[in-house]
Amino acid sequence: MTVNESFTSGSCTTFAGATGLLQALLDFVVGTEVSAENLSGSGTTWSGTLAGYPVGFGRITVDYSLSATPYEGVDDGTGNITGTGITSGTINYETGAYSITFTGTPDSTPTIDYIYGDPGRDWQQLFKRNTQDKLGNDIWAGDPQEVILQNTGNSGLEEVMIGIREWYYVGDNAYGWNLNGYLWYTPDMDWRANINEQGTVRESYNTTYNTYNTMPNLPLIDATMYYWIFSNRQRIIVAVKVQSNYESCYLGFANRYSPPSKYPFPLVIKGSHYGAGNQSDTGNWRRGIARNHYDTYPYGYPLLFSDPGGQWRNTIGSGGTIIGVEMCPGDLAVDNGSIGLLTDGSVFSQTVSIGNHYDSALYVDLDGVKQLLGPNIQSEDILKDPDNLKRYIIFQDISRTSYQDFFAVEQGPYTTTTSTTTTTTTT
């Protein structure tokens, strides 16, 4: 069985640095980049097997020259390699086997650049530096970092770009990740880019905490934390046990309800808090990835997502008013009983969607996330879905443990599989 979901779990002992949560994430999800590997062959026909595989979709560049003119060939994300002077070209992403036929003999040995790693472990690190403030100054010497990661989505042709920024303020024992998403990227852009798309309000910066006030946030601590990382080619989900709480974030594409041509960037950035939110905060605005943030605080945005028109949306408007965007089924659906327990008392799972309250539209559902209802649910338990042969890990919503306060994240298939590059367990 082909496994398209990578999973790992473990613990980190510090907030940042080599033993921090961000480094654990990067070590797991970032693929290996290969530059200028020589192709095998001669004359017009070149074929062989790449040194590293499985190969990331849409990640291949072939450099060659014909009659002293340099050219570049690329893969299309579906196994074809095309370019000027290439009559046929194929790549088997899973095995690394390739075959390219040119119209004439290349002037020298063609070379190939690519990224390899299991699906979800083939993200590219576009950007990494010491965390900076709004003015571009390094805030702390040493460990805290800000990064931008990119992948090509399920089609191999999309641009999924997400950002994580470590920040902290020792005076309030406040540590966390600022979370961001991008509709475009240029090599010289800043981590906080996309301000025009997000709106200038999200540029607000807290100089005491050295964090962006309005961006989604994942609250952490500078001590031992236990983590679970779920990754595929279109999104990354992180769950963290911070003391007795379970924090979570969703970064990347969700499953759209319309074709890519009509909805090119179904990008969701969801934290369990906003801005300088502290892990000790117990307010109603602090929620996991499966629930609304419905408190009246007017400035924080734990959820940002790009609608079909490419505009960033959030759940809270000026003065704390709901502007129509909300998680579904959401709190109201649970509280008023429209989603309830099955008559036999078993656990009931529901897809988590993002929709518009005013026109009853659904935009996306979160990839691999289920909201749960039922008695006797426990965090870190395994939920098996016999219909789609998948297994899920259960987490509670921060500190809440009532029957509607749990969600589950897909870990992978529960049929017997063997993998050497993920830590997915089997039954």
Whole-model pTM? 0.91
Distance CA 118, CA 92 (A): 14
In percent, how much of the chain has pLDDT > 90?
56
Domains of the chain, CATH where assigned:
6-31+120-413 (no CATH), 33-116 (2.60.40)
> H-type helices in 99-227, by residue range?
195-198
Which residues is 395 bridged to in the sheet?
Answer: 407
Torsion on CA atoms 327, 232, 348, 226, rounded to nearest 10: -90
pLDDT at 419 over 50: no
pLDDT band with cut points at 50, 70 and 90 for residue 336: very low
CB of 16 closer than 8 Å to CB of 24: no
> Do strands 312-313 and 235-242 pair parallel, antiparallel, or not at all (unpaired)?
unpaired
> Which helix (H) or strand (E) element contains residue 23?
helix 21-29
Query: Coil, strand, or helix at residue 115?
Result: strand
For residue 414 the two structure tokens come to 């529960």
For residue 416 the two structure tokens come to 């017997």
Distance CA 414, CA 316 (A): 38
Which tens digit of pLDDT belongs to each residue from 144-186?
Answer: 999 999 999 988 889 999 999 999 998 898 999 999 999 988 8
pLDDT at 421 over 50: no
Which tens digit of pLDDT belongs to each residue from 47-63?
Answer: 999 999 999 999 999 99
